[in-house]
A and B are shown apart, each in its own frame.
Chain A
């Protein structure tokens, strides 16, 4: 009897608990949903602020020259697409050529950056050798020096090598890990990976290269993806190095070509410049959307560990 009573009590208590749990869950669901809506609302608001300038840029690129500065309205009175058609061929060389040039420089640079910087980062993050701290400090120093004062000595150096007016000064340094930003970025990510992985692999007789290639790189896809995106965007948009090292207009890259539209002191083609600026963003955005998957894929890998 007593047992049944306690059983009943137990059962009742269980039911009660289930009911309370259910209520809680419903409440939590509601709260979660509300939180999600709030979150979306916030994100959409931020998005509007983020997108406004892009709208403005696109709108300006569709206005005739005479209306860009006079009127404040965002919406063009009429749509002028000839900023795009005329802008593409406004310079002595067509933008087709500039895009090809930029594509070559950017592709080579990204590849160079990823290979050489991940090499250096692997050494700094995972390997023991004498002088590591000093080299690391020197590497950080190259990040800190204001680049305008090394511009001229660098130019003289490349001039002596006979590299001025070729793409070599833009590309070769990338294969020699010149951008310490990426090394440091990768170092931070590599160091987080569990050391037992290397040790186990070492015991299995793996060479350092094998460890780098088969363990470190696959586990660092989010970092490599981030580095690829940054490196592509920065090289694509870089204009200082092309400005200094490229003389022949046929070899100009897109950002350099955009600078040809503006003459602060005289005639400028603002509408066409805006139109070409908008177009110059397209490849970067496409690459960004494609490559951010790599960051997302990081979930699976980190789940494994």
Chain B
């Protein structure tokens, strides 16, 4: 008994702030939303229990639910890999002893500071409009552009571009990770004449794996939950023709615009399960490609 206590005490002591927060602040609302997902709840009157009704409607009769899934999955499939690749590439460029590194780092982070503000929405619409800067640039190389944002076939890619353009946070995390790789490893490899590509695959990737894993998981979760950018650029509606109907935008409108908090909660739990499955897969796969220093021997 005493031994169990002694073994567990430090862990639980350090975890206690989080445990307190989890039980006192986080758990209640999460369970409440689970309960509400089985009710009809308009936020004004009391919730009314309807069993699986919301879920049934979602899967059998709600066309926009499937549309929202399609939009969100497309976004995740493009935005996550592109953003991560770009962030990693730039982080590696910046990592190698440029004197002006601080300046570049600050500049590259600026777009992320602007976040998803109204200013960005206005700007993005101007940039990608039929006569916007993007099309002017494309015209220089002889490509005729379209009205990127209002064309339902292309609008989602302007949001992918926005995500890539705001690559600041994964870049910073990659940079911090690269700092943790001992420089002498590279020096030794260089003396041995290891080619650059092999240095990347043999040293950088394995040692950066925990950070890559973190960014992958977090960026995927974030991408599934993307809200602000889609909301402001589509004026909160998912327009044009529902091509920007991200899952959370749909959910928000169901809850706060159409007074269906119960249904929105059900949507949220479906999204939670989807994200949960992807995260679990990532964690399972990590056994094969993420090795921590302390597991090495």
Q: Which residues of A contact B (CB under 8 A)?
A: 36, 39-40, 42-43, 46-47, 49-54, 56-57, 60, 72, 115-116, 119-120, 122-124, 127-130, 132, 135, 138-146, 148-150, 152-154, 157, 172-173, 175-178, 181, 183-185, 188-189, 191-195, 208, 212, 222-223, 225-226, 229-230, 233, 237, 258, 262, 273-274, 277, 281, 284-285, 288-289, 292, 295-296, 298-299, 302-303, 305
When distances are taken between beta carbons in the complex, the residues of chain B under 8 Å from A277 are 117, 119
When distances are taken between beta carbons in the complex, the residues of chain B under 8 Å from A148 are 227, 248, 251-252, 255-256, 264, 268
When distances are taken between beta carbons in the complex, the residues of chain B under 8 Å from A274 are 119
Q: How far is the CA of A158 from the CA of B101 in the complex (A)?
A: 45
Please give the number of chain B residues whose Cβ is less than 8 angstroms from any Cβ of chain A in the complex: 91
Q: How far is the CA of A51 from the CA of B28 in the complex (A)?
A: 43
From B62-70, B75-83, B145-153, B270-278, the one touching the partner chain is: B270-278
CB of B26 within 8 Å of the partner chain: yes
A43 touches B18 (CB 8 A): no
A198 → chain B, closest Cβ, in Å? Answer: 9
- Ranked 5 nearest A-B pairs via Cβ: A176-B21, A129-B11, A195-B294, A153-B29, A153-B32
Pick the residue among A50, A225, A281 that contacts B165 (CB under 8 A): A50
B18 touches A46 (CB 8 A): no
A53 touches B111 (CB 8 A): yes
Jot down 9 A-B pairs with beta carbons below 8 A, ordered by A: A46-B90, A129-B8, A132-B11, A144-B275, A145-B30, A148-B264, A192-B292, A226-B176, A288-B106
Between A119, A135, A152, A284, the greatest number of chain B beta carbons within 10 A of the residue's beta carbon is seen for A152
When distances are taken between beta carbons in the complex, the residues of chain A under 8 Å from B175 are 222, 295
Q: How far is the CA of A51 from the CA of B30 in the complex (A)?
A: 40
When distances are taken between beta carbons in the complex, the residues of chain B under 8 Å from A237 are 113, 115
When distances are taken between beta carbons in the complex, the residues of chain A under 8 Å from B157 are none
B251 touches A230 (CB 8 A): no
When distances are taken between beta carbons in the complex, the residues of chain A under 8 Å from B108 are 46-47, 50
Q: Would you give the 0/1 interface string for B216-232, flagging 1 where the beta carbon is closer than 8 Å to chain A?
A: 01100100110100000
Q: How far is the CA of A56 from the CA of B122 in the complex (A)?
A: 11
When distances are taken between beta carbons in the complex, the residues of chain A under 8 Å from B271 are 146
Pick the residue among A129, A144, A153, A289 that contacts B12 (CB under 8 A): A129
Q: Tell me whether A130 and B8 are in contact in the complex, defined as CB-CB below 8 angstroms, given that A149-B268, A226-B172 are known contacts.
A: yes
B127 → chain A, closest Cβ, in Å? Answer: 8
B272 touches A140 (CB 8 A): no
Q: How far is the CA of A56 from the CA of B21 in the complex (A)?
A: 42
CB of B181 within 8 Å of the partner chain: yes
A284 touches B30 (CB 8 A): no
15 extra A-B contacts, CB within 8 A, seeds A141-B276, A281-B114: A40-B100, A53-B119, A54-B110, A144-B275, A148-B255, A149-B255, A150-B30, A154-B29, A177-B21, A183-B18, A189-B210, A191-B210, A230-B172, A233-B113, A288-B106
